[in-house]
Amino acid sequence: MPSNAANKREQLRALQEAQDRQRRNRRLIGISAAVIALVLIVVFAWMAISSMNTRNQNAAAAVAPNATANRDGIIMYPGKAKANAPVVHVYLDYQCPICHVFETRLGPTLDEMGQAGEVQVINHTMTFMDGNLRNTASTRAAIAATCSDSQGVYPRFNSTVFSNQSAEEVPGSVGYTDDLLRQTIPTQLGITGQRLSDFQACYDTKAPQDFLDGVNRMAYDAQVTATPTIKVGDKVLSQLNPQSTTPEQFRQMVLQG
Amino acid sequence: MTTRVHRSWQDWAGLAARLILGIVLLVSGGLKLGNLGESVNAVRGFQILPYDLTTPVGYLLPFGEVALGLLLVTGLLTRWAGLAGALLMVAFIIGIARAWAMGLSIDCGCFGGGGPVERERAIAQYPLDIARDVGLALCGLWLAVRPRTPFSLDAALFHRYTLDDFTTDRGADEAPVDADLQRSATHAQ
């Protein structure tokens, strides 16, 4: 019957169109997916490679002369500690606000104890805050501080950096400037002339980078992932509250281990 | 020419699963893409991987999440995307449960200064986090088992068109269209 034949033709045509459309769509989606995947892979590869380029291959001669034997930190007052003095490990990040609070409120007490030889103080500088704040200030401050060890002023450099921490830390802001770290602070501490040139060469070539990578890695292996973390020997001072613990309480916590 | 397709509650459940899991993954991955350093820190906070693996995994995770999220939201390769999403959630659940058992604070960052109280508060979050991830894993599992969902690229791209789709004289029998979709959709997985 003619109407049925006409119907049939129409249906066949509709079928053909639908199949053509589907073929076109498959191709379109296939190509789009491939392009997106390619873009993601390229962006990922670019980011991975550019992060590897920051490793500096320059010879790191005499970096951190007062580092510990296994290079996981820097000894604050080398040679002062009495025999069998407890070892206090301070894990810190220069952009960590509570580390600043700790340094301000309890740092002097720890310094006294370290200089008197009651304890041995070891600083472990971590740099993960760079990731959280999207800058490089933690790393650069740590590099500057480590370079200051070669000039024999590490403890003062350490506390001076913290006293320059900005009250508000904005993600994406520069944090500590190069000028502050390589010029202002060392000059303030009496590093001038040839010593300043040596210090700045150390800073500009990022000589301590490998050392710092090791410090971060060993902090991770010691299961420290947040700062400030204070350990006496192997034990974390878990009751310590940098904002409320008094210097006297802190002293007791440290001596009792 | 549109065809009337009968949808069951399972179809809608599948769509919900696809969109919930897909959007969560897209947002989670998308936010991290802007700051890969933070993503690496987050991986380190779990203290579960060797140090050298934390960097590549920290970088890969956001890209993987975005890719999976896109697949799920558009309904492409639904069975595999659902399975991958479920496995990812299981990995998170294991990480959080382990941290809970060990009394760890999954935080690679600055303590807010609240001392031990803050750690307790962080640990109290773990059961909530685990419950959330279990729910998301179930979404993925549902899709792995039953990938057919409405409004998906899978259905549009892999439906085998036949004359039946265009015959208007249908009567009460609509089953062939359904069977077609099902056959071609499962065939395509």
**Residues of chain A below pLDDT 50:** 56-60
Contact yes or no for B115 and A243 at CB 8 A: yes
Contact yes or no for B36 and A12 at CB 8 A: no
Section B87-115 average pLDDT: 83
Runs of H (alpha helix) within chain A:
2-52, 97-105, 107-115, 129-133, 137-149, 154-163, 178-179, 185-188, 193-204, 209-221, 247-256
Residues of B in contact with A227 (CB under 8 A): 110-111
Cβ atoms of B152 and B74 closer than 8 Å: yes
Statement: residue B35 has pLDDT above 90:
no
Cβ atoms of B94 and B130 closer than 8 Å: no
Give pLDDT, residue B122: 81
Residues of B in contact with A221 (CB under 8 A): 51
Phi-psi sector, A127: left (phi>0), alpha (psi -120 to 50), beta: alpha
The Cα of B156 is separated from the nearest Cα of chain A by a number of Å equal to 7
pTM value is: 0.81
Q: pLDDT category, B1, cuts 50, 70, 90?
A: very low
Q: B58-84, pLDDT tens digit by residue?
A: 999 999 999 999 999 999 999 999 999
Contact yes or no for A242 and B115 at CB 8 A: yes
Give pLDDT, residue A96: 92
Sequence letter at residue B183? R
Give pLDDT, residue B112: 60
Statement: residue B184 has pLDDT above 90:
no
Statement: residue B173 has pLDDT above 90:
no
Nearest CB among A29, A48, A171 relative to B153 is that of A29
Give pLDDT, residue A44: 80
User: Is the CB of B51 inside 8 Å of chain A's CB atoms?
Assistant: yes
Give pLDDT, residue B181: 54
Statement: residue B172 has pLDDT above 80:
no
Edge-to-edge strands of the sheet including A74-75? A74-75, A120-125, A87-92, A229-232, A235-236
Which range is least confidently modeled, A105-119, B28-42, B130-144? B28-42
Statement: residue B178 has pLDDT above 70:
no
Statement: residue B170 has pLDDT above 60:
no
As a three-state string, the secondary structure of chain B is CCCCCCCCHHHHHHHHHHHHHHHHHHHHHHHHHCCHHHHHHHHHHCCCCCHHHHHHHHHHHHHHHHHHHHHHHHCCCHHHHHHHHHHHHHHHHHHHHHHHHHCCCCCCEECCCCCHHHHHHHHHCHHHHHHHHHHHHHHHHHHHHCCCCCCCHHHHHHCCCCHHHHCCCCCCCCHHHHHHHHHHHHHHC
User: Is the CB of B17 inside 8 Å of chain A's CB atoms?
Assistant: no
Give pLDDT, residue B183: 52
Contact yes or no for A217 and B51 at CB 8 A: yes
Q: Which helix (H) or strand (E) holds A152?
A: none
Cβ atoms of A251 and A123 closer than 8 Å: no
Give pLDDT, residue A27: 92
Give pLDDT, residue B187: 52
Nearest CB among A29, A131, A226 relative to B111 is that of A226
Section B118-145 average pLDDT: 92
Nearest CB among B45, B115, B156 relative to A225 is that of B45
Residues of A in contact with B111 (CB under 8 A): 98, 226-228
Is the torsion defined by CA of A232, A236, A241, A245 positive or negative? negative
Q: How many CB atoms are located within 10 Å of the residue A192 CB? A: 11
Give pLDDT, residue B174: 42
Nearest CB among A22, A40, A225 relative to B67 is that of A40
Report the candidate in A20, A8, A206, A221 with the shortest Cα–Cα distance to residue B47.
A221
Q: pLDDT category, B2, cuts 50, 70, 90?
A: low
Place of tokens 């140090």: B51
Give pLDDT, residue A122: 97
Section B137-158 average pLDDT: 93
The Cα of A127 is separated from the nearest Cα of chain B by a number of Å equal to 10
How large is the ipTM?
A: 0.81
